Amino acid sequence: MSASTISGAVASAANQVAVFGDPPPLGNGIGVKQMVVVNWQNTPFTFMINTNDQLFYSYPTTSSSFVGHLPAGSPPDPKDITTNYTSWKFVTGAAKQISVDLWNNQPYLYLINSKDELYYGNLYSTSTAPTATPEAAFSGWNFVTGAAKQVEVNDWGGSPYLYLINSKDELYFGNLYTGGPTSATPGRTAFSGWNFITGAAKQIEADPWRNSDYLYLINSKDELYYGNLYFDPATPGVPTGRASFSGWNFITGAAKDVTVSQWNGNPYLYLINSKDELYYGNLAASSTSTTIRPGPSAFSGWSFLTGAAKNVTVNQWNGNAYLYLINSKDELYYGSLYTTQAQTAPLTFTSHTAFTGWTFLTGAAKRVEVGQRESHPFVALVNSKNDLYFGNLTLARSTVYPWSTYLAFGGWIQGWTDPLS
């Protein structure tokens, strides 16, 4: 894949080797194994499991805003973007997998430990007044279940819904809810219990749409399906966990990995198939229903993006869907979907989706997560040495005539390095 130029007045420039800042102290961890980035208190909090199976969290701080004034192809001046992570805060050991979701304006952590036990706990603010720097503490852990293999969590209808694949490859759902205070019992968080959906589950993604929680399942036959939870008007709703499941709708076979991200009001699916080809497509509402809500949906079909795809992460920025792709050579690229218009008849224009093409960022990429910092994409990268870097995209201004605006990458800043590598 080659770097592409974005059409119109915005061009692209990638800084491939710019690294600024020293790694902060990191406890007794030695490298990054898994990370999740979630925006909380206007800050991208990073939750990270290291290669010693220890869970930490931290967040970046800046002494100045992201200011776009880079000449094309040049790295930023460190004095212009002085960003680094705070000291990493230890949460627990024996961590195997982490999922994070915001509920009641707090990050809730869902941890599968080395014994395959699922727990949850939350961060909460300890600030008594608004401050520029977030202040947080951890609640402690609450046990949910054993024999856990994979968990996906999504906030829907005022509750976090947990989608669990257990050691038997069975898919269940359940939700947390807040029990109302009484004269004898204060308000507390409780769990609804588990509801079976299906067996032979391999991967699950969840995304709310049309006031329902939509599930995207890859089964043991590598078939991709979707379905949704809904509330029957004749049964109680939240918090007693009486949601029902619509059943499955087939999309395609030969599915290897799926990522779901909404754009323009519809869920867009980014599929890597068994040939490592990356495609995208979207669901759209086709009708409504009063029985199984919200009603049928239609799938657009697949549009090809690239081959040799290994992993893709998607987020939204400036009205476009931005894709961050790691290919089979462990090279990291980004590109975006955008809406354009084509003339189909005299004085008639039709909107359609187009892709910018790929822009190279770096090699030796292992995993990438994307959050938001000061209205810019915040890109957190784990490289092949398990080192953590981060950087941001920005709309920069040329320093020479005609002083055009272009899309630029601010360069990589080191957040954590493996001292043994």
Burial of 191 (0-12, 13-18, 19+ CB in 10 A): middle
Question: pLDDT value at position 388?
Answer: 85
% of the chain exceeding 70 in pLDDT: 80
- Decide if pLDDT at 151 tops 80: yes
Q: Between the CA of residue 115 and those of 163, 204, 258, what are the distances in Å?
A: 19, 21, 27
- Decide if pLDDT at 29 tops 70: no
The mean per-residue pLDDT over the stretch 365-387 comes to 89
Whether the Cβ atoms of residue 152 and residue 199 lie closer than 8 Å to each other: no
- If phi over 0 gives left and psi between -120 and 50 gives alpha, with beta otherwise, what is residue 157? left
The residue that leads in pLDDT, 358 or 411, is 358
Strands (E), 26-70: 32-40, 43-50, 55-58, 60-62
Rounded CA-CA distance 172/158 in Å is 19
Question: pLDDT value at position 242?
Answer: 76
- Decide if pLDDT at 64 tops 50: no
The mean per-residue pLDDT over the stretch 53-73 comes to 63
Confidence of residue 68 (pLDDT cuts 50, 70, 90): very low
Token pair 């040799």 is at which residue? 308
% of the chain exceeding 90 in pLDDT: 57
Question: pLDDT value at position 351?
Answer: 86
Question: pLDDT value at position 116?
Answer: 98
Determine which of 53-62, 99-108, 237-246 has the lowest per-residue pLDDT on average. Answer: 237-246
Determine which of 36-50, 104-118, 177-191, 404-418 has the lowest per-residue pLDDT on average. Answer: 177-191
Question: pLDDT value at position 131?
Answer: 59
Question: pLDDT value at position 336?
Answer: 97
Instruction: Name the average pLDDT for the chain.
Output: 83
Model confidence over 79-110: pLDDT tens digits? 344 456 778 899 999 999 999 999 999 999 99
Confidence of residue 180 (pLDDT cuts 50, 70, 90): low
The mean per-residue pLDDT over the stretch 22-51 comes to 76
Question: pLDDT value at position 206?
Answer: 97
